[in-house]
Amino acid sequence: MVESHPAPGRHEEDLSRGPTMGNSALRAHVETAQKTGVFQLKDRGLTEFPSELQKLTSNLRTIDLSNNKIESLPPMIIGKFTLLKSLSLNNNKLTVLPDELCNLKKLEMLSLNNNHLRELPSTFGQLSALKTLSLSGNQLRALPPQLCSLRHLDVVDLSKNQIRSIPDIVGELQVIELNLNQNQISQISVKISCCPRLKVLRLEENCLELSMLPQSILSDSQICLLAVEGNLFEIKKLRELEGYDKYMERFTATKKKFA
């Protein structure tokens, strides 16, 4: 009978069976993170948030666990990363976010693209330091109203969701850039023109008729880049609308500034 030997180099490097193995590869990552404040473990097939990270709740400034198979975040651990500024969990299998996530008072960047999220926690507005939020490729059916209480939010990406309309509450958003590309939007509140800092509005590949695009976006807003290709009207018709010349003045002035 021939004895089978394990393949060389396979002994403890395989993390795909989950983070509870206590293997040398994970230990090495944790030790490095203790020194650098950065924990990055992508493309490892992890099905759980590594429990070993609870040793580093007062160290970590950055966590990146993108491209894994994580289905949930542990409520008892996730809210304790008091110094965390950046959290990336793109391309996982998250369906809900725990309320405890919203205890991360220093979090500035949250990236959750390509998960299965249908809504945000009701306490999401407590993430008072948040500047950049990426939720592209989820299952959101509405603009989350919690975003309106985030005063430092600069960029929000809600592209590739299932949003159908933009309600009046949008006028309270403080963002500079709002990406709503590839949704199912057919209605937009005129209040979008009231957003005090909104400069870039992306609405490509939605279900908008030209009559449903508020003209005040052109004539009476801060918006200087409006992207609306791939809707139910020809772009040349947009150029015929009243206020388009005012929009072009803002567009050209901004272009010059960055030239």
Nearest to 212 by CA among 195, 243, 190: 190
Report how far residue 99's alpha carbon sits from residue 196's, in angstroms, rounded to the nearest whole number.
Answer: 29
pLDDT given for residue 224 in this prediction: 97
Report whether pLDDT(4) > 50: no
- 235's enclosing H/E stretch is helix 235-238
**What does the pLDDT look like over 28-71, one tens digit per residue?**
999 999 999 999 999 999 999 999 999 999 999 999 999 999 99
Count Cβ atoms within 10 A of the Cβ of residue 61 and give its class: 0-12 exposed, 13-18 middle, 19 or more buried. Answer: middle
> Stretch 242-257: mean pLDDT, rounded?
93
Residue 259 — very low, low, confident or very high, per pLDDT cuts 50/70/90?
low
Report how far residue 98's alpha carbon sits from residue 85's, in angstroms, rounded to the nearest whole number.
Answer: 18
**What does the pLDDT look like over 181-202, one tens digit per residue?**
999 999 999 999 999 999 999 9
Q: What is the dihedral of CA 41, 87, 124, 171, to 10 degrees?
A: -130
What pTM does this model have? 0.90
Report whether pLDDT(161) > 80: yes
pLDDT given for residue 25 in this prediction: 82
pLDDT given for residue 257 in this prediction: 77
Q: Which residues have C-beta within 8 Å of that of residue 125, sequence separation ≥ 6?
A: 102, 146, 147, 148, 149, 150
CB distance 73 to 51 below 8 Å: no
pLDDT given for residue 24 in this prediction: 79
How many angstroms separate the Cα of 81 from the Cα of each of 6, 26, 78, 118, 188? Answer: 39, 19, 6, 25, 38
- Going along the chain, which residue ranges are E strands? 38-40, 62-64, 86-88, 109-111, 132-134, 155-157, 165-166, 177-179, 187-188, 200-202, 225-227
CB distance 252 to 225 below 8 Å: no
Q: Count Cβ atoms below 10 Å from residue 257 Cβ, excluding itself.
A: 8
Structural domains in the chain, CATH included, are 54-257 (3.80.10.10)
